[in-house]
A and B are shown apart, each in its own frame.
Chain A
Amino acid sequence: MAEKMTRFVWRHSARDQLVLLFFTLLTFPIIWITLELPKTIINEAISGTEFPQEFFGVPLEQTQYLIALCFAYLLAISVNNGVKYAQNVQRGILGERMLRRMRFDLYRRVMGRPLSRLKGTSPGELVQMISAELAPIGDFVGAIISTPVSQGGSFLVYLAFIIVQNPLIGAAALCLYPVQAWLVPKLQARVIAMIRVRLANIRAMAREIDESIDGATEIRALRARRWHMAIVSRQLYDNYVIRRRIFLLKNLIKFVNNVANHLTPFFIFLIGGWFVIHGQLDVGALTAVLIAYKDLAAPWKELLRFYQDYSDMNARYNSVMENFAEDGEPAPLLDSAPVGPHALALHGAPVDGLSGPVDAHAPMGATTSVVGEDALARSSLLQALSGLVDGHSGDHWTAGTPILYRTAAYVPADPRIFAGSMRDNLVHGLLFRPVAPGDDPEHGARRREAEMTGAPADDIADEWIDPVEAGYADAEAVEARIQRLVQVLGLEDDLYAIGLMSRFDPEQAPALAARLVDLRRAIAGSEELGEMREDFIDHWQADRYNPNASVGENLFFALPLDPELRWSDFAEDRAVLRALDEAGVRQMMVEIGLDLCETLLSLFEGVAADSDLFKRYGLFPRSETATIEGILRLGRQRGADKLNRAAQARMIAIAFGYSSTRYRLGVLRGTERVHVLLDARPKLREFAARDPRFAPFDPDAFHPAFTMAENIFFGPVKLERRDSWAPFRDRVDALVAELGLRELILRAGLAQPLGGGGASLNAMQRRRMGLARALMKNPGALVLDGIAAGEAEADAALRALLRQELNGGALIYGTDREAAAQAADHVIRIDRQGRVTQEDGAGEDPAAVDGARDGGR
């Protein structure tokens, strides 16, 4: 898009700009009136002698006339500002829409880039351009026509008014403008040049930051951290130098303008005063000129600023758009695939890294291997076969099915898992386009906005999955397939664990909540399981201190409802502190905190300040050490109760988080303090039950802040028995399955967000999810790039499993092993020169080979 900013703005907002222009023109006569009225007020109402005066046909006495004129003035000012308000609002909305349009347009172009080019794109740089660099342009373009017209127009109106009063004064007022008009653009040009340098500098920095995060492992392995920090430090220095030069220049421009503006009244007083003394000008007119001159400065300033902004924004705009100049209009998204006789086929297609146009195909319903030594060439060919190379059309690529998203499912060795739940990830391949509108009330508003800014009307609140088109009987069948794939691909145990760790709102699923509590009771009631529970779980009992839990939980016998919050987050809460006071344990809590800090500090004596030992085993961050030491000294000298409020809260927060079994620091002094804490529990428990921010532990009720597992066991696993509790867990798992709860927990696991784009998953789990996601599409061909690529039994078994789950779809896999390649019905070979040939393979299953040979030719 090598289009100029002004052209872009005009093309997309001509109508709105004209509306704005109309508002602007409307203000000019009003401005003239606001200038004319004061003159009339002074000359005719205040200094006048001929009364009664006619005012819109009504004769008025002097005072009445003055009041009438003043109110007319008030009205004119109000109308003027009202119009300005409407104009500003309109301009703001227009600017926001233009910004949205520009941003989306760039994102669309990036999404349309060929994969080969996207690999060289730095995400940091793009984010910087799309989010930060474009933002001020949006503000600006809303006003791109109305500002010069309105400010220039006002300027001319004021000027004309002055000249009408007396041409000589007009000339005096004008005399310095030419100087500014000549000097300012010269300075401005230098500012623009600097702005370009600044943008390039910021982008380079974004790229460097990008690289240091992307290459963090290597940077650490190379021990090059200081070098990379030095690079950014240097870039920040350059940035500072550039910014300093820019603001020096900008201030110089301001200085020139200010001097010019303040010199003018000198001429007005001198020349205007001379005329008044010699009776060639009345005082009213001179006053009006002064008012007009005062107002003249504002639009002139605005005009200059507009000029500065215009050049600034133009520079920004061009420097952003340069990066997208090569993009052109992205290829339109295809609705359906060109159909051919094979599951997938390339016809004389150019493929990166291979010599000459490639002809290759994968027969319907058979297995095909792509064998070659070069992994990159193999990937290239597999991607081309899958139709991932851009600009494919029936000339170069065909598939067995017209439904584009079901033609092929390409799975790389390390599939990318997206933010969202496991279910979201598994149905990702079915989200081709919206198929039915959702029932969101804001749908219409979003759609209108989208249309107004050139964005597609696709709404994520719509229904995007068409089960029938995707090869399922109905939505239920999609659900059933998800569960089946989770099971056959060995994801079920992971999913079960995720489900057990999830929380849910008991009001949404009261039946499940009740059944979990039933299970909890059944375990406690069972002779054998109950005994095991005693052994392994420190379950909550109203009259027992729980050493495996924190002091906070023990005191209040409750947890904050928000699972993100711990009791230590409430140490500054007034209600909580009052409750501690009433229960008589506040001072002891401070003392526990002091004891803890003292013990920890002495334990970690001699540990280097930057050691991560402390981070992991301490109760407060190392950076706080100095503060904590200060509190400790004061607390020991003057007593815990003499500490100020903040210090006490800090100590209480630390004490809240202490768990006896985890830290074993003995600060509860055997049972001495435990008894005090237990005695305070009834009162504090009552407090927590009353306060809606907390949920008390109740052996007969579901706890909303507990995970499912915690709800079943009703207490933490004893730390000292953590290595031995597996048999108990297995027994409970079996019971869960027996009661039919496993299904429900699995379902909950499916809806649970996966942390950080699947960062919590290991490579094996990601790969399995990638395969399940691909199979969900019921693809005409499943293409494996780096999975199940060997001749080992496990690989062959996985290929067999996938074939079975493909329901007649073809299986294509890349490999560098000849033996593995020969196991396929059809072999596509890449030789060392990058030439592609095809032959029949031995086939893993003789029956399939025959069918494939018939279908393949």
Chain B
Amino acid sequence: MKFEAEVNALQRTPMFQGVDPSRLRLLAFMGEDRTFKDGEMVVRQGDSSDSAYLILSGKADVIVEFGGRASTVAQLGESEVFGEMAMLCETPRTATVQARGELRTLLFEREGMLRLLREFPEMAIEMSRSLAQRLERTTVELARLRAQAAAPAAPTDGG
């Protein structure tokens, strides 16, 4: 079968888990290979975005610049997708992604992605389910952080 490796990688991502493999094959076909060398930027924070990436092999750092200070907030590895939110919402990139070592990715353009979703609405439902789950996790996390921030002197100290 063609695009076996890509389809496998896509199936491992939460976003595409429930999607039919034949659709994923088409999605993989629509993607374009992009490779990056150590230290090369995949996307830059603040840039306009019209594509998302799936990591086929290698690692990448997620770097957020805030108030003139850049800090690595996460690391991405095989079968992880990034850039999809900014791509779908046409918002600027919220973080920089930098290759750490040799990085092989598959790039998906917004145009093609939207056409595919229009064609197969069930895929859109799967994707939005996964995005909603992620949003919920983030919301819980945010609530937790807020609670922490509201009570800086945690009572655990005193105990």
Query: Are A and B interaction partners?
Result: yes
Q: Which residues of A contact B (CB under 8 A)?
A: 599, 603-608, 611-613, 616-617, 661-666, 719-724
The answer to whether A617 and B112 have CB atoms under 8 Å apart is yes
The answer to whether A721 and B35 have CB atoms under 8 Å apart is yes
In the complex, what residues of B have CB within 8 A of residue A662's CB?
32
A-B contact pairs, 6 of them (CB 8 A): A606-B22, A613-B116, A616-B111, A617-B29, A664-B33, A724-B37
In the complex, what residues of A have CB within 8 A of residue B26's CB?
603-604, 607, 613
The answer to whether A613 and B35 have CB atoms under 8 Å apart is no
In the complex, what residues of A have CB within 8 A of residue B59's CB?
none
CB distance from B138 to the nearest CB of A (A): 28
B30's nearest neighbour on chain A, judged by CB, is: A617
The docked-state distance in angstroms from the alpha carbon of A834 to that of B124 is 54
Asked if B134 is an interface residue, CB under 8 A from chain A, the answer is: no
Asked if B115 is an interface residue, CB under 8 A from chain A, the answer is: yes
In the complex, what residues of B have CB within 8 A of residue A720's CB?
32-35
Excluding A613-B112, A719-B34, A724-B37, 14 further A-B contacts by CB distance (< 8 Å) are A603-B25, A604-B26, A607-B26, A613-B26, A613-B30, A616-B111, A616-B112, A664-B3, A664-B29, A666-B2, A720-B35, A721-B35, A723-B36, A723-B107
The docked-state distance in angstroms from the alpha carbon of A771 to that of B135 is 48
B104's nearest neighbour on chain A, judged by CB, is: A720
Q: Tell me which residues from 1 to 50 in chain B have a Cβ below 8 Å from any Cβ of chain A.
A: 2-3, 22, 25-26, 29-30, 32-37, 40, 42
Interface string of B92-118 (1 = CB under 8 A from A): 000000000000000100011001100
Cβ-closest 8 pairs across A and B? A720-B33, A720-B35, A613-B115, A724-B40, A611-B119, A723-B34, A603-B26, A720-B34
The docked-state distance in angstroms from the alpha carbon of A719 to that of B109 is 14
In the complex, what residues of A have CB within 8 A of residue B116's CB?
613
In the complex, what residues of A have CB within 8 A of residue B30's CB?
613, 617
Q: Which residues of B contact A (CB under 8 A)?
A: 2-3, 22, 25-26, 29-30, 32-37, 40, 42, 107, 111-112, 115-116, 119
The answer to whether B32 and A719 have CB atoms under 8 Å apart is yes
In the complex, what residues of A have CB within 8 A of residue B119's CB?
607-608, 611, 613
B32's nearest neighbour on chain A, judged by CB, is: A719
CB distance from B54 to the nearest CB of A (A): 14
The docked-state distance in angstroms from the alpha carbon of A602 to that of B107 is 22
CB distance from B139 to the nearest CB of A (A): 33
CB distance from A480 to the nearest CB of B (A): 36
In the complex, what residues of A have CB within 8 A of residue B32's CB?
662, 719-720, 722
A612's nearest neighbour on chain B, judged by CB, is: B115
Say which residue of A599, A606, A721 sits within 8 Å of B2 (CB atoms): A599
The answer to whether A616 and B2 have CB atoms under 8 Å apart is no
In the complex, what residues of A have CB within 8 A of residue B37's CB?
724
Given A611-B115, A613-B116, A617-B112, A719-B33 contact (CB < 8 Å): yes
CB distance from B28 to the nearest CB of A (A): 8
The answer to whether B33 and A603 have CB atoms under 8 Å apart is no
The docked-state distance in angstroms from the alpha carbon of A719 to that of B36 is 12
Given A611-B115, A611-B119, A724-B40, A661-B33 contact (CB < 8 Å): yes
Most-contacted residue by chain B among A661, A665, A721 (CB, 10 A): A721
CB distance from A220 to the nearest CB of B (A): 14
The docked-state distance in angstroms from the alpha carbon of A748 to that of B35 is 34
A617's nearest neighbour on chain B, judged by CB, is: B30
The docked-state distance in angstroms from the alpha carbon of A517 to that of B24 is 45
Most-contacted residue by chain B among A607, A662, A723 (CB, 10 A): A723
CB distance from B110 to the nearest CB of A (A): 13
CB distance from B23 to the nearest CB of A (A): 8
The docked-state distance in angstroms from the alpha carbon of A604 to that of B40 is 35
A722's nearest neighbour on chain B, judged by CB, is: B34
B99's nearest neighbour on chain A, judged by CB, is: A724
A663's nearest neighbour on chain B, judged by CB, is: B29
The docked-state distance in angstroms from the alpha carbon of A617 to that of B36 is 25
The docked-state distance in angstroms from the alpha carbon of A611 to that of B112 is 11
The docked-state distance in angstroms from the alpha carbon of A607 to that of B118 is 10
CB distance from B48 to the nearest CB of A (A): 13
CB distance from A382 to the nearest CB of B (A): 34
CB distance from A844 to the nearest CB of B (A): 32
B20's nearest neighbour on chain A, judged by CB, is: A606
In the complex, what residues of A have CB within 8 A of residue B40's CB?
724
